[in-house]
Structure 1
Amino acid sequence: MIEKIKVLHIVEALGGGVYTYIKDLSIFFGKYNMIFDTTIAYSSKRPEVSNLDLKKELSNGVTLIESDMNKEISLKDFKSIYELTKLCKSLQPQIIHLHSSKAGILGKIVSLFYNKAIVFYTPHGYSFLRKDISFIKKQFYYYIEKFTTKFLGGITIACGDSEFEYGKKMGKALLVRNGINIEYILNKFKPSKVYNQCITIGIVGRISYIKNPWLFNKIALNNPNLNFIWIGDGELRKTISAPNITITGWLNREEIFTYLNQLDIYIQTSLWEGLPIAPLEAMTFQKPILATNIEGNKDIVLHGKTGFLFTNENDIQEYIEILKDTSTRDQMGKAGLKRCMEHFDLNKNFTILKNIYLDCLNKDIQID
């Protein structure tokens, strides 16, 4: 009988794209529970988590444990470090995989008190890239990342090419791109035989600072003859004032796919990202992408081939005009699907992660 490999995932920011990633990871590794004993320790303090039935959403092939972690750095972190250390000594994992910047800091400190595991760390968007904090705070976060990696160790597993470049500057880094279940999503794709009378442009996600709803609103105001849809809801809903924008409110996955099918163009107005999932799903639905030219987005979009990268509400106008042509949209949409299949296939990319886990423990185990 093969002794199971114990893997502990520690997640503080269980929301948005990180939640989708962890959900998909749980399903993938849940299928290999004869090899991996997977535990996910997560913070339930994020508002995004409170409305989720995690035991129903995540695979029953993994174990879920609530952990007391906070988003911001505070004295409460000492309690978190104590609780996580206690958890590690109880579970005795051989691999610890940290997700998000805060979990990365806490987990690396925990490794001082529990040194029996190989530590991996995926930032899912470095905190020093945030645009909602001061320059001083960005520098503070940058040096925390740099020094915790230098002195506490750990191997960065970047979720995108831009994150990989930053990771290599910090220390040892590997690249395992975010991915999506292409086969599953393609089954939800319903190509329309009748084109919209009016071009429809949409985004999926929480109406929050990171998604820059102000820019989305400006673009809509500059294009009053086009339809815009925000698929989601959020605390900054009131920033949306353009009369040609529809806000759907919170939807389940099936409803989101229904709206994605209706779009002519997908837009990503984010201020910063790790490697966003929603544009990948839109590309699988063969939608051309308009995205801000930032880390994460530029790892996905090939400018002029699968869509366009823009910097503000003015330079996007040229690209909107180009994409009014149906054949151009179709051509870019097909190129986007091809790119997804080549680089962002969830099963291929999680297989790479699985092999990293096995290789780091020198386990020669054959699993399909």
Structure 2
Amino acid sequence: MKTVLHITEAFGGGIQTALCSYVRSTAEDPIRHLLFARKRKQDDIDLAFEELFSEVQTVDGSLLTFFKNARKAVLQTQPDIIHLHSSFAGFLGRYLPKGNAKIVYTPHCYAFERRDISPSIQRIYMTLETLGLSRIDLVAGCSKRECELALELGAKKAIHLNNYAEIDSISFTSGTAPKPNTHGPFNVVVVGRISPQKDPAFLLDTLINLQLYPEGRHVTLHWLGGGPPEMEKPLLDAGIKVSGMIPHTQLMQRLNDADLYLHTAAWEGMPLTLLEAAKLNVPMVLRIIGATQNLHYPFMVSTPEAMAKQIVNFCRRPDHPDYQQSLEAINATFSAEKQRAALNTIYGN
């Protein structure tokens, strides 16, 4: 039995979902998963994670408090594997007492990939990623690009640890045929916290271009998520329906009811909402960014104009077989079986 201590400074959204999936996909393997996480006010924690992990410890407060308590957790548990998640935990974790443990680091999107900071700040973040990197035994990147970036930074080794989406509710129709709506109106959704990362301006520009086509009259745009009032207001003013932050189960039901999913984010690790949409067989149009560029998915765009055109093409032929075939390929690539195999390789089982 190997003990893995997961340490994360950010335990909301995708990281929470990813860590829970690691536990589930290796449930039949001799691995004992422990969790040490910092709770932040902005993190949405609504999954029943405490029953999954063998032990859970959470802390509030500053990064210094987080580091001190993480150090205590390592000394108390003496894990075989220390698995660091997110850039802050990845940096601080390099200075934890290692002993005989193997240190694994999953960035879940490097901080220097952000596009809402200046080039000089990006360079600082990139430099910080190289400090103490020799103490990291392996980078488990959640996308192929993340692995490539790790090796460019000087990592000893990088292995792709694919995310996967697990849809729990039996009321969802994952694995079945596409939605039957072929005449509209069409329910088109974006999912996530409204933030610079998710790039609501890209969606607003997409809507402007969509309104140039007659098909635009048959589309209702929904943003499933919420954010600061000053970021929600432009969306609402443009006629986009904003749900506000909702529980994950309700979010999945709303996503399941959608006709088309749009991914507009400017940067990501490997977005789990994309994989959840694919698992629910919701056709998708994806923005080309580092995390998605290696997906070989046919409905990908780099501009709002191109995204609007793809929405129009969907309205004209929502039953096109390429949508279903592409979703099946995504689901085969990002599966629980492949994640389990990757984790066993990473942890040395």
Smaller-chain TM-score bracket: 0.7 to 0.9
Give deviations 1:286-310, integer Å, cap 9, x for gaps.
333222211112244x343xx2222
1:21-76 C-alpha deviation (Å, 9 max, x unpaired)? 122223344x348x322211001124214xx356x344344211113575xxxxx5
The residue aligned with 1:270 is: 265
The one-letter code matched in structure 2 to 1:322 is N
Greater shift, 173-182 or 202-211, is seen at 173-182
Partner SS state of residue 13, structure 1: coil
TM-score (normalizing by structure 2):
0.87
99, 109, 131: which one aligns with 1:125: 109
Once the two structures are TM-superposed, the CA of residue 227 in structure 1 deviates from its matched residue by 1.2
For residue 340 of structure 2, the aligned residue among 322, 340, 350 is 350
Number of equivalences: 337
Opposite residue 309 of structure 1, the aligned amino acid is V
Provide the residue aligned with 2:314 in structure 1.
Answer: 323
Q: Is the 8 A contact 2:9 2:66 kept in 1?
A: no
Partner of 2:15: 18
Could you list the per-position Cα deviations for residues 211-257 of structure 1 after superposition, in whole angstroms to 9, with x for gaps in the alignment? 01122122223324221011121223223134431112233334323
Partner of 2:140: 157
- Contact 2:5/2:36 (<8 A) preserved: yes
In structure 2, C-alpha distance between the alignment counterparts of 1:154 and 1:357, rounded to whole Å: 11
For 2:119 and 2:294, how far apart are their aligned partners in 1? 25
Q: CA deviation at 1:187?
A: 4.4
Report whether the alignment pairs 1:174 with 2:159.
Answer: yes
What are the within-5 Å matches in structure 2 for residues 192-203 of structure 1? 192-195=179-182, 197-203=184-190
Residue of structure 1 aligned with 2:51, choices 59, 63, 70? 59
Residue 196 of structure 1 deviates from its aligned partner by 5.1
Query: For the residues of structure 2 that align with 1:341 and 1:299, how far apart are their CA atoms?
Result: 15
AA of the residue aligned to 1:219: T
| Residues in 2 aligned to 1:141 and 1:200: alpha-carbon distance in whole angstroms | 39
Q: Which whole-Å deviations, capped at 9, do the CAs of 1:71-93 have from their partners, x for residues lacking one? A: xxxxx53x443322222111111
Give the TM-score normalised by the residue count of structure 1: 0.83
Q: How many angstroms apart in 1 are the aligned matches of 2:58 and 2:33?
A: 14
Kept after mapping to 1: 8 A contact 2:4/2:83: yes
The offset of 1:334, in angstroms, is 1.1
TM-align CA RMSD? 2.5
1:334 aligns with 2:317: no
Aligned equivalent of 2:198: 211
Structure 1 counterpart of 2:146, which letter? E
Q: Is the 8 A contact 1:26 1:58 kept in 2?
A: no
Aligned partner (choices 222, 230, 235) of residue 229 of structure 1:
222
Mapped to 2, the partners of 1:309 and 1:36 lie a distance apart of 40
> For the Cα contact (< 8 Å) 1:206–1:234, is it kept in 2?
yes
Determine which structure has greater relative contact order: mean sequence separation of CA pairs < 8 Å that are 6+ residues apart, divided by chain length. 2
Q: Determine the C-alpha separation between the residues in 2 that align with 1:185 and 1:346.
A: 18
**Cross-structure match for 1:364:** none
Pair 1:206–1:270, CA change in 2 (3 A): same
What is the Cα deviation at residue 117 of structure 1? 0.5
